[in-house]
Structure 1
Amino acid sequence: MVTVQAGASLGSGVVLRSDIVVTNAHVVDDATDVTIGFADGVRSPGHVVATDVVTDVAVVRSDRADLPVPRFGTDLPRPGDVSLAIGSPLGFENTVTAGIISGLHRDIPGSAAQTASLVDLIQTDASISPGNSGGALLDATGQIVGINEAYIPPEAGAVSIGFAIPSATVLAVTDQLLTTGRAVHPYLGVSVGQLTAPIRQQLNVPVDRGALVLGLDAGAPGERAGLRPGDVIVEFAGKPVNTVEDLLGALRQTQPGASEPLVYIRDGNRTQTTVTVGTS
């Protein structure tokens, strides 16, 4: 575990390779150089190698090398498993909180308007606070099962509802970032918005849940599958779509090149098509 300081931003990080640290992209923001604080009190310069805003992952090269590398799991934990969150909340370095895995494949409601990263996450009740971002979520054996990402604050009525990016996602994205400098993601080329009551009334949509198609990239998979602005996507890849976050989460779990079923509502009619997932 390390602390990552990027200007006024303070977050956490985890050693990924002997000279590489992984953290959240929102921790480093647009910084190119950061300061990395280690558990033994040593501080070292770090240099941001690459970031991926879709998954909110960043990789940083440390001037201090030969760092001990922890074990990263590739399988999802199970709901009810013990979880430990380690980080630097509010600057309290190497803080550990304990809880359980509360759920898998979670999306934070309403997050899609700000970012595409808050989908397909691990939920935990181990306390996560500002500064925990980028830190480790461990299981009872000390294996890293996720990178802490976000929490719902108490003012929203929440108590210990935190989220982490699954380790398998982190490993897949960081490998691409370190190899090519960018990560490739499944892509539909569809701009979507929430289906609100006024929009339902205006468009005479007979369903009250789904993702409203606002626009389509020319020649993109969504357009080739026959979608049009005004359509309401209600299922994708065999999963129900009640919100924009549902669609983003289902897309995250597909692979580029896969042909997936998609169900949409148009003019009151329910239609199924097949879309070949692209890359972005």
Structure 2
Amino acid sequence: MFSFRFSNGPAAALLTAAVLLTVPGCTGPGAGQAPATSGPASGGGSPAGTASPGPPGVFPVPAATLSIPQVVKDVEPSVVTITTQTGIGSGVIYRGDGSIVTDAHVVEDQQRQPFKSVRVQLADGTQTNASVIAIDDPTDVAVIKADRSNLPAARFSTATPEVGDLTVVIGTPLGLEDTVTSGIVSGLHRNMPPSREQPQGALDLIQTDAPISPGNSGGAVADATGAVIGLSEAYLPPSSGAVAIGFVTPSATVTNVADQLLKNGKASHAVLGLVPADLSPEIVQRFNLATTTGALVIQVSPAGPADTAGIRAGDIITSFAGQKITQVTDLLAALRKAQPGQQVDLTARRGTDTKTFTATLANTSNTG
């Protein structure tokens, strides 16, 4: 189980249902603030880094790779510094009209309420105001709009990188503008388990060993072709015993959510309408449970999908839409892949019985 702390960011959670996740703050210290010593670091373009398959026996031509200085030269003009009342973060220009993507917690206050406006410094050193257009807490993605146009939009990749691919991180860690670090993709599809700071966890992240620090949040993580593969999200501090373990929100998630935010002012997510918890040894022993794996239902939203399907507090979900559920992050990850309105079958243990339920998933926009 992962153990990590969050720096300078909000830690409240939305208990709308099982997938309204809260992602930690990783904004850097603002003026007069002491640098944080630990905590997670915390559209636009067309797909990049992919090649069309050729006829049988003909290998596809790989995308051209660049040196790290060339990647920086390509990407750095699209990376901005974002200053708020509570700290400093980073962002990436999404569209030339001034639309910028960043982490939601970068532009939120301690109560996870978005600021109306923030200050943006562009790569050329000029500064401008920016309005916070919309945020999506479940994915920790936000879109802001700078009072400038004709900006250099980054090129976003929607392809999944491979473990071992180059990663180049550009942002403003601890207020140090245009800082560059590099590493590789260390892992894919990482899920952060629920914790006190983020009760719903964080899902489907890219892991990298490129150093990420407070203030990098929302900044660009690029590949060897100069395409942005994601936004800096979090890291495990050395105090946890970790060495160079950082996390990135994939560009496929960023672009999907950003397009929804720009079009509708909100993003849709499937909701099951329950709050799950992992089965600790203490819970298993106390209640003499017949299973030690699964997601324990500790709360069911009245009239929500789970309630309507007949799921009750105390049930232990062991499968969702055909996927085995051994812990809460399995359930949250499976639910993230589902669509609002989709009917899914769930299996749960209730006492010594095994029951099957069919739930019609709701949408975050209509669950209250």
TM-score using structure 1 length: 0.94
Q: Secondary structure at the match of 1:271?
A: strand
Residue 21 of structure 1, aligned match among 100, 112, 115: 100
Q: CA shift at 1:179, angstroms?
A: 1.5
Q: CA shift at 1:95, angstroms?
A: 1.4
Identity fraction in percent = 47
Q: Is the 8 A contact 1:55 1:117 kept in 2?
A: no
Q: Are 1:12 and 2:90 an aligned pair? A: yes
Name the CA distance, whole Å, in 1 between partners of 2:101 and 2:122.
Answer: 14
What residue identity is the alignment partner of 1:194? D
Equivalent residue for 2:348? 264
What residue identity is the alignment partner of 2:125? G
1:181-202, CA deviations, whole angstroms, 9 ceiling, x for partnerless residues?
A: 1111111001112222232223
Q: CA shift at 1:113, angstroms?
A: 6.0
Q: Secondary structure at the match of 1:120?
A: strand
Q: CA shift at 1:112, angstroms?
A: 7.4
Distance change in 2, residues 1:117/1:195 (3 Å): closer
What residue identity is the alignment partner of 2:360? T
Q: Secondary structure at the match of 1:164?
A: strand
Question: Where do 4+ consecutive residues of structure 1 move more than 4 Å?
Answer: none
Name the CA distance, whole Å, in 1 between partners of 2:266 and 2:196.
Answer: 21
Distance change in 2, residues 1:71/1:265 (3 Å): same
Distance change in 2, residues 1:112/1:274 (3 Å): farther
1:98-117, CA deviations, whole angstroms, 9 ceiling, x for partnerless residues?
A: 11112221111334762536
Equivalent residue for 2:184? 100
**Range moving further from structure 2, 74-83 or 268-277:** 268-277
Name the CA distance, whole Å, in 2 between partners of 1:83 and 1:239.
Answer: 31
Residue 322 of structure 2, aligned match among 222, 232, 238: 238
Equivalent residue for 2:204? 120
**Range moving further from structure 2, 213-222 or 47-56:** 213-222
More strand by share: 1
Q: Is the 8 A contact 2:194 2:201 kept in 1?
A: no
Name the CA distance, whole Å, in 1 between partners of 2:185 and 2:344.
Answer: 30
Q: Is the 8 A contact 2:194 2:200 kept in 1?
A: no
Q: Which has the larger radius of gyration?
A: 2
Q: CA shift at 1:262, angstroms?
A: 2.0
Q: Is the 8 A contact 2:193 2:201 kept in 1?
A: no
1:28-83, CA deviations, whole angstroms, 9 ceiling, x for partnerless residues?
A: 11321111111111111111111111111111110121111111111211222111
Q: Are 1:109 and 2:193 an aligned pair? A: yes
Q: Is the 8 A contact 1:237 1:261 kept in 2?
A: yes
Q: Is the 8 A contact 1:11 1:132 kept in 2?
A: yes
Equivalent residue for 1:157? 241
Distance change in 2, residues 1:195/1:182 (3 Å): same
Give me the CA root mean square deviation.
1.7
Equivalent residue for 1:67? 151
Which structure ranks higher in relative contact order (CA pairs < 8 Å, sequence separation ≥ 6)?
A: 2
**Range moving further from structure 2, 190-199 or 172-181:** 190-199
What residue identity is the alignment partner of 2:160? L
Q: Is the 8 A contact 1:176 1:182 kept in 2?
A: yes
Which sections of structure 2, spanning at least 5 residues, go unmatched? 1-78, 109-113
Equivalent residue for 1:3? 81
> Across the two proteins, how many residue pairs are aligned to each other?
280
